[in-house]
Structure formats: C-alpha cells, structure tokens
Amino acid sequence: MHISFLLHNAYGIGGTIRTTFNLAGQLAEHHDIEIVSVFRHRDAPALGAPAGVRLRHLVDLRRKSPSYDGDAPEHARPASVFPRGDSRHRQYSRLTDARIAAHLQSLEADVVVGTRPGLNIHISRQARRGPVRVAQEHLTLGSHPYRLRREIGHRYGLLDAVTTVTEADAEDYRTRLRLPGVRIEAIANSVPAPAGPPAACEEKWVVAAGRLHRVKRYDLLIGAFADVAAVRPDWRLRIYGGGDATGDEKEGLHRLIGHSASRSGCS
C-alpha cells in the first residue's frame, strides 16, 4: 500500500513532525511510505528522516538553493485555499496553493494523510478521487478559533476519516460537527518503546517538558498539580521549556504557580 503524508515542514522541530516520522517509519516496514513537506528551509531534517521513507518538498526556502522559491511573485500573495483560521496562514501563499493542488491532483497513493487543519482542508478540496483521505488532528477541536472550526465543519465532510489523539476529542468531532459518513477515531501519537524501565517514583517529582505556549495548557497542569500537592505536599512539579512563548505568557505561568502554591499550602 502506498501512503502519502502531507506535512507543513518536515525539516523543522516539533511534536507533529516527530510523531509523523515515528508513524511513517513504522508503516514503512510493511508499506510504501512517503512524506511530502510543503516547505524546506534546510538541507537535512533536524530530527533525522525515518528509515525507508521517501521525503520530498513542494516549496524550497533555502536561500542558497538553485531552486529557491522565496522570491517568486506568487509567494508574496496571500493564500486563498489554505484557511485564514489556521495559525500558519501567513506562511502560505498563492504559490503554496498551486503547488499543493498540483501535488494532490497528480498523487497516485492509496491513502493521503493530512497533518494539520489547513492541509486537511486542502486535501478535502483538491485531492483527486481515488485515495482514501484522512485528516489527522494534533490539537483539540475546542482550541481552534471559531473561523477555523467553521471551515472544518464545512470541509471535513468530504474526507473519509478523521483521527484525534484522545477519545474525548473524537467524541467532540462526532457530536459537535456531525460529519455523516466520515469515520472518526482516536489514535494516540506514535512514540517508540521506552529505552529504560518505568520510574520508581522515589524522587517524588512530576516533570513536564515542551514548548512554552498556551496551546500546551500548562495552566491546566499547574492547577491540577495544586490539588495533588494539597494531599501530597512532598511531591514537586518541574516544567522545562522554551520556544516562542512571550514574556507575558511566562509571567502568567509564574503568577499561576504562586497562586496555586498558596492555595495548596505549598511553597
């Protein structure tokens, strides 16, 4: 079976890239797998390409590359197909609209898998008849702005399946959007088998690591841990992260930690 993944940028660093690489690498043991990256901004993937998986791109943003597309006039014009409600909209253009459409119309795969709402909408509108069309959702339906949720509700009915990372979000799609004929399933993110044994819990630390951004909902984690600390005051929470968080967001987390600590009676 030939399965083709459509990914925003396979050459960057992020959870969607990692889980797509994990899944593609595993599937490649039994199927013909390719990852098509809309953008390419460096020579090699930062996370390392999965073994046995073909990797190609649609728009070249490497300035020293002879195929550099950043100066193309169409790249300066805003995208009309990629939805404005998707947070990556500013990176897309009439050039990406055209390249993605040409790719999807010529694709000879058995299954095409989109990995973010904007690309899923491209697939729903532009993929030729034949391949099974699957939309992966790596966030929650409720986290999307109204404008994007409206577009999802309008376009996802043209897909064959939607996968979410939790059963709760799958149920959200089933009940809030009502997509007749579209299979909606919860499939957890692909991760490799742990290299070491489970923690013995002797140190009494809970550790979270990731990009410091509101979409990661560290506010919920801090609030939930305050309830734990009220009963188990010898436990501690440690959060590691960086990335694109603003100073205001970091300060907000610090204030929440202080408030939660005083509420739970812990320092």
Would you state the structure tokens that stand for residue 139, as one six-digit string? 């966030």
* Domain boundary assignment for the chain: 2-186, 205-264
Phi-psi region of 248 (alpha: psi -120 to 50; beta: other; left: phi over 0): alpha
Q: Report d(CA 252, CA 259) in Å as an integer.
A: 11
Q: What one-letter code names the amino acid at 182?
A: V
Residues 6+ away with beta carbon under 8 Å from 188:
165, 166
Distances (CA, A) of 18 to 47, 153, 263: 7, 27, 37
Say if CB 48 and CB 25 are below 8 A apart: no
pLDDT of 265 strictly over 80? no
Q: What one-letter code names the amino acid at 16?
A: T
Task: CATH number for 2-186: choose from 1.10.275.10, 3.40.50.2000, 3.10.330.20, 3.30.365.10.
Answer: 3.40.50.2000
Q: What is the pLDDT of residues 61-90, one digit of tens each?
A: 999 999 999 999 999 999 999 999 999 999
Q: How confident is the model at residue 266 (pLDDT cuts 50, 70, 90)?
A: low
pTM of the model: 0.86
Q: Report d(CA 212, CA 165) in Å as an integer.
A: 20
Mean pLDDT score across all residues of the chain: 91
Host H or E run for residue 160: none
Higher pLDDT, 118 or 241: 118
pLDDT of 267 strictly over 80? no
pLDDT of 246 strictly over 70? no
Q: What is the pLDDT of residues 99-137, one digit of tens each?
A: 999 999 999 999 999 999 999 999 999 988 889 999 999
Which backbone phi and psi does 209 adopt, to 5 degrees?
Answer: -140, 135
Higher pLDDT, 244 or 211: 211
Would you state the structure tokens that stand for residue 158, as one six-digit string? 């043209």
3-state secondary structure 164-193: ECCHHHHHHHHHHHCCCCCEEEECCCCCCC
Average pLDDT over residues 234-262: 77
Per-residue confidence (pLDDT) for residue 107, from 0 to 100: 95
Please name the residue that has the structure tokens 């709760």. Answer: 168
